[in-house]
């Protein structure tokens, strides 16, 4: 009986070890592809200095740009914790997405905190069903920007950063932040939105556009 228990335990440990090795390698292969796309997207104006894994599902890479738009730049790529079965199941159950976060300091320090969330759509149910239809009718609306601020006085014209973000919304950017302290700028995007080098190039272009808007706002 004791021998069977030991065999079961050894088998379970071996299976978990193989699982960890296989899915860690899968995440690393996927991470290498993402870094390759980012390097290609920089188009000679920036390069990846180094990269390292912080666990089996978090990849960090430092970038250097020739221009002054970004300093101390880095990307944080969060994959699903595939190498750890329990965490993977929890991640799938919570519908957590894989993301890439770009962080950097700007040419000049912003004197404000600004957090912009992804533009959403809203819908209103009329509460009636048209003749011959089995589904309710919906009116779809595209709301304008909503700004929550702690300032007692706020300019009615939106900031250059917000305009730049709205013009780059096609890149599926989830969140953009500006802050006085380092990192002064960050942007997060679904990893699925960077599925090829062309999409990654669009994301990098959007980052440069937002940074240019921030520079214009400070001038």
Q: Please choose, from the candidates 70, 101, 73, the residue with its C-alpha nearest in 3D space to the C-alpha of residue 211.
A: 70
pLDDT tens-digit series, residues 119-170: 555 555 555 555 555 555 666 665 565 666 666 665 555 455 555 555 555 5
Cβ contacts of 109 within 8 Å, gap of 6 or more: 180, 184
Structure tokens at 75: 């990307």
pLDDT average, residue stretch 199-214:
77
Domains contained in the chain, number? 1
Give mean pLDDT, residues 20-48.
Answer: 88
CA-based radius of gyration for the chain: 23
131: domain range?
2-218
162 and 176 Cβ atoms separated by less than 8 Å: no
Question: For residues 130 and 138, what is the distance between their CA atoms, to the nearest angstrom?
Answer: 11
Q: Where is pLDDT greater, at 172 or 75?
A: 75
76-115 residue pLDDT tens? 999 999 998 889 899 989 888 899 999 998 876 666 677 7
pLDDT, tens digit (0-9, with 9 covering 90-100), for 186-205: 888 888 888 777 788 888 88
Q: Quick check: helix, strand or coil at residue 131?
A: coil
pTM for the whole thing? 0.75
Residue 182, CA distances (Å) to 43, 102, 128, 139, 212 in order:
26, 13, 52, 43, 18
Q: Please, are residues 73 and 42 in contact by the beta-carbon 8 Å criterion?
A: no
């Amino acid at each position: 009986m004791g021998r069977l228990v030991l065999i079961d335990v050894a088998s379970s440990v071996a299976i978990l070890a193989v699982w960890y090795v296989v899915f860690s390698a899968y995440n690393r292969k996927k991470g290498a592809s993402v870094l390759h796309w980012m390097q290609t997207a920089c188009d000679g104006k920036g390069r990846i200095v180094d990269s390292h894994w912080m666990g089996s599902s978090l990849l960090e890479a430092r970038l250097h740009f020739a221009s002054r738009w970004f300093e101390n730049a880095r990307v944080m790529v969060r994959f699903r914790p595939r190498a750890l079965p329990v965490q993977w199941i929890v991640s799938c159950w919570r519908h957590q997405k894989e993301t890439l976060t770009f962080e950097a300091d700007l040419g000049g320090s912003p004197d404000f905190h600004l957090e912009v969330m992804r533009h959403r759509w809203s819908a209103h149910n009329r509460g009636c069903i048209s003749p011959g239809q089995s589904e309710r009718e919906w009116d779809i609306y595209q709301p304008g920007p909503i700004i929550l601020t702690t300032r007692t006085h706020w300019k009615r014209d939106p900031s250059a950063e917000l305009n730049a973000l709205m013009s780059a919304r096609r890149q599926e950017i989830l969140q953009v932040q500006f802050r006085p302290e380092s990192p002064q700028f960050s942007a997060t995007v679904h990893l699925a939105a960077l599925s090829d080098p062309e999409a990654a190039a669009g994301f990098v272009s959007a980052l440069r556009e937002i940074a240019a808007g921030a520079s214009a706002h400070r001038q």
